[in-house]
Amino acid sequence: MADSDFLSALRTLREGGVEFVVVGGLAAVLNGAPINTYDLDIVPSRDEENVGRLLQVLGRIDGIYRLQPERRLRPGASHLRSPVHHNLTTTCGPLDVLGTIGRGLSYEDLMPHTTEMEISGGLLIRVLDLATIIALKEELSGEKDKAVLPILRRTLDEKQRAGE
């Protein structure tokens, strides 16, 4: 599997005109939480045109499912239009394309809970806010999610104290 290259993946998605929100561990880091993560989690708009653009980008970065890599399975448009999760590997590292997260929250549902951040010269991306990341992780029962919650909560406290 290729090593994670977050900036290349995000740049390629933006340059391809894909509309998406960054969620998960990377969103927490961009919000200031001192945690580690190896994969990029995104929730894309699932409208037909955006799915078409996403498919083109996935073709450029050789996006295939991480499970059964020997078969080199790739998602089609109908798969990306569904609300399920696609755990892919790409030339920019692991990429999880999530149709919805939490209790069925889509790109449109998440948009009011995002901020735009500049992550490289002029490169702007939509990132889920920390309060929503915490609320989503509180709904999940995984040990990994529970373990990181204290750090996320204290980061939010410190951000609010700093008036950020």
Contacting positions for other proteins (CB under 8 A): 3-7, 26, 29-30, 32-34, 36-38, 117-120, 127, 150-151, 154-155, 158-159, 162, 164
Closer residue to other proteins (CB): 40 or 55: 40
Task: Tell me how far, at minimum, the Cβ of 103 lies from other proteins, in Å.
Answer: 26
Helical axes 130-139 vs 143-161, angle rounded to 10° = 150
Helix, strand, or coil (residue 19): coil
Distance CA 42, CA 74 (A): 17
Closer residue to other proteins (CB): 36 or 141: 36
Task: Tell me how far, at minimum, the Cβ of 8 lies from other proteins, in Å.
Answer: 10
Task: Tell me how far, at minimum, the Cβ of 89 lies from other proteins, in Å.
Answer: 14
Closer residue to other proteins (CB): 6 or 107: 6
Distance of CA 43 to the CA centre of its chain: 6
Closer residue to other proteins (CB): 54 or 92: 92
Task: Tell me how far, at minimum, the Cβ of 4 lies from other proteins, in Å.
Answer: 5
Strand partners, 116: 126
State the number of CA atoms in the 13 A half-sphere of 147 facing the CB: 7
Helix, strand, or coil (residue 73): coil
Closer residue to other proteins (CB): 56 or 120: 120
Evaluated on CA atoms 123, 124, 126, 129, the torsion sign reads positive
What is the token pair recorded at 162? 């700093």
Task: Tell me how far, at minimum, the Cβ of 29 lies from other proteins, in Å.
Answer: 5
